[in-house]
Amino acid sequence: MRTAQLNSAFLLKLEAMDARFRKQEQVMERLLARIFGQKREKIDPAQLMLFLREEFPGMVDPIDCQAPDAPQKTGKARPKGHGRDSFPEHLPRRRVIVEPPADHCICKECSEPMVRFGEDITERGHYIPGVWEIIQYVRGKYSCRKGCGGVVTAELPPALVDKAKFEPSVAISAAIDKYADHMPLDRQADAHERLGVTISPSTLGDSVLDLTDVHAPTVDVMREELVEEGTIHADNTSVKTMVESSEDTPKSEKKKTLRETQIWVYLAACGKVVFDFTMDKSASGPERMLQGFHGNLVADGAPNFNLAVRALDLVRCGCWSHVRRKFFEALSSHPKAAMRILVLVDRLFRIERAIEKRRRRDRKFGDSDVTRVRRRRSSCVLKKFKKEIYRLKGQLPPKDPLEIAVSYSLSQWRTLFRFIRRPTVAIHNNAAERALRAVAVGRKNYLFFGSARGGNAARVMYSILGTCKALGINPHTYLTDTTAILLANPDTPRSTLTPWAWAKARGQKLALDLSAEVTPALNR
């Protein structure tokens, strides 16, 4: 009896050790894949189609998103162009005359001088890394000949701060280099040093903070106009911030510590992008940012947005990319079961790509057609997905990668199915994750925000630069123009200075329906 009990105990211990070993092995695989493996979660379509025909023979290809009365295009497709692209016409040209040697311009037959009858023009791009220019403002002084009255002189052009040593262009360049090109301020200072200008990183940082103070009210107006849209994508990521001790702490004991803070992004299909900065991960941030919004909120399964959804009576829509990611992580431990699910999820994405391709090709393909295709095509896939999920439910050990994926899908069940009847809602939240990529790359370089004010400055600049990128606006041109306007007249209505209003007022080439240009990017 004693031996049987010992054997039973050893078997239980062996099973526990085996389960722990498998778990550690799966964690190691995920870490190695994250470091050395491919970042995308797509699988070879040919492999998926082979599995699709074997496991789900009723699902056919290709996907047809043609309307019943849509004319079929015939004819041979035009071949794509090739060769070099020419330089834009607005770039300045400097003519350099290159003539052959004089002895080469003598005719070899009759020994007479050759006559110039034309020219060949070859263009080569020439780039100057950085050019400093010192502007001297020469202001004449005027006074009365008789010595009465005071001295009259012209006012200096406005600057970000009084008695500034640098023009606003320095702050604009520093902000774009840091938040768009991810170059920390100390590296920028080194670059200026190589050009012969000594400027400290703290001076650059102060100038960026002054610039963002000028544009912060514009971002507040951008938020007010964003919540008027019908669908908003949202996501968040963490960034460390240097925080000082509280005011009650004695001066001798005060110290600075790094604290994990949050950067949030909210964007619409029309290209409006607004970021937010909070000191914690609580749901008070989304609730404050989404005040006045009453539409569809596309987000992942994190609980941060739950309070805002309940308080503001929003419709929360799930993200199928997160579902695909969970099952992709379970592919190594349960290849066949995970592949069955990935086939179905990939089918949903392929339907959406076909819909967007049709919408770009045919402007008459409207929301009603999208709903019709989703009900006819996507609903069939969702029924099979539901069947597969419930087949796996309760059959897997806790904390198994496949069990985690199944549990996540069940917890987001209702939100994942809401896109069927909402044609303006994308099936994933990739647009928000792409917008946060700038933050993720930037924090690898500047590491942390120096203060809460620095986090708010990042919020302002990420909002402006993200919107300019989505709408195809040159951020340098936009910031240069709007900064000059606000310094000359701080009371200028901010609603006229948002990136979309500014572009429209200056006649830049923007589509009348911005969503027609930006929406396809949301579904890539």
Does pLDDT of 432 surpass 90?
yes
Report, as an integer, the average pLDDT of 253-277: 90
Report, as an integer, the average pLDDT of 64-88: 58
Please state, in angstroms and rounded to a whole number, the distance separating the CA atoms of residues 277 and 271. 20
Strand partners for 237: 263
Instruction: Note whether residue 119 is domain-resident.
Output: no
If pLDDT is split at 50, 70 and 90, which confidence band does 77 have?
Answer: low
If pLDDT is split at 50, 70 and 90, which confidence band does 300 have?
Answer: confident
Does pLDDT of 209 surpass 70?
yes
Instruction: Note whether residue 421 is domain-resident.
Output: yes
Instruction: Note whether residue 389 is domain-resident.
Output: yes
Does pLDDT of 486 surpass 50?
yes
**Alpha helices, H only, 299-366:** 306-312, 320-329, 335-361
Does pLDDT of 458 surpass 90?
yes
DSSP for residue 106 = B
For residue range 136-181, list pLDDT tens digits in order: 888 888 888 877 878 888 888 888 988 888 999 999 999 999 999 9
Token representation of residue 215: 């544009």
Cis peptide before 62 (omega within 30 of 0): yes
> Which has the closest alpha carbon to 404: 352, 334, 468, 339?
334
Round the CA-based radius of gyration of the chain to a whole number and report it: 31
Mean pLDDT, rounded, of the chain: 83
DSSP for residue 229 = S
In terms of Cβ atoms closer than 10 Å to its own Cβ (0-12, 13-18, 19+), residue 506 is exposed
Please state, in angstroms and rounded to a whole number, the distance separating the CA atoms of residues 167 and 487. 12
Sequence-separated (6 or more) residues with CB below 8 Å from residue 64 = 354
Q: Output the pLDDT for position 219.
A: 96
Our separate counts of H helices and E strands in the chain read: 19, 6
For residue range 353-410, list pLDDT tens digits in order: 999 999 888 888 888 999 999 999 999 999 999 999 998 888 888 888 889 999 999 9
Q: Which of the residue ranges 93-107, 420-434, 504-518 has the most confident prediction, judged by mean pLDDT?
A: 420-434
If pLDDT is split at 50, 70 and 90, which confidence band does 305 have?
Answer: confident
Instruction: Note whether residue 31 is domain-resident.
Output: no
Report, as an integer, the average pLDDT of 341-355: 91
In terms of Cβ atoms closer than 10 Å to its own Cβ (0-12, 13-18, 19+), residue 236 is buried
Residues 499, 219 contacting (CB under 8 angstroms): no
Amino acid (one-letter) located at 90: H
DSSP for residue 113 = B
If pLDDT is split at 50, 70 and 90, which confidence band does 516 have?
Answer: very low
If pLDDT is split at 50, 70 and 90, which confidence band does 54 have?
Answer: low
How many domains is the chain partitioned into structurally? 1
Instruction: Note whether residue 200 is domain-resident.
Output: no
Report, as an integer, the average pLDDT of 493-502: 94
Higher pLDDT, 519 or 354: 354
Positions of E strands within 198-268: 231-244, 256-267
Nearest 5°: CA angle at 472, between 471 and 477?
A: 110
Q: Output the pLDDT for position 524.
A: 43
Higher pLDDT, 475 or 144: 475
Does pLDDT of 22 surpass 80?
no
Q: Which of 55-69, 147-161, 214-228, 342-356 has the lowest mean pLDDT?
A: 55-69
pLDDT over 90, % of the chain: 45
Does pLDDT of 520 surpass 50?
no
Does pLDDT of 279 surpass 60?
yes
Report, as an integer, the average pLDDT of 45-64: 55
Instruction: Note whether residue 147 is domain-resident.
Output: no
Please state, in angstroms and rounded to a whole number, the distance separating the CA atoms of residues 61 and 241. 51
Report, as an integer, the average pLDDT of 22-33: 70
Token representation of residue 106: 């003598």
In order, the DSSP letters of 19-52 are HHHHHHHHHHHHHHHHHHS-S-----HHHHHHHH
Sequence-separated (6 or more) residues with CB below 8 Å from residue 104 = none
Instruction: Note whether residue 342 is domain-resident.
Output: yes
pLDDT over 70, % of the chain: 84
Instruction: Note whether residue 191 is domain-resident.
Output: no
Domain holding 313, by residue range, is: 210-246+256-522
DSSP for residue 142 = B
Does pLDDT of 518 surpass 70?
no
3-state secondary structure of 289: helix
If pLDDT is split at 50, 70 and 90, which confidence band does 218 have?
Answer: very high
If pLDDT is split at 50, 70 and 90, which confidence band does 336 have?
Answer: confident
Please state, in angstroms and rounded to a whole number, the distance separating the CA atoms of residues 128 and 277. 36
Does pLDDT of 132 surpass 60?
yes
Report, as an integer, the average pLDDT of 428-440: 92
Q: Output the pLDDT for position 228.
A: 93
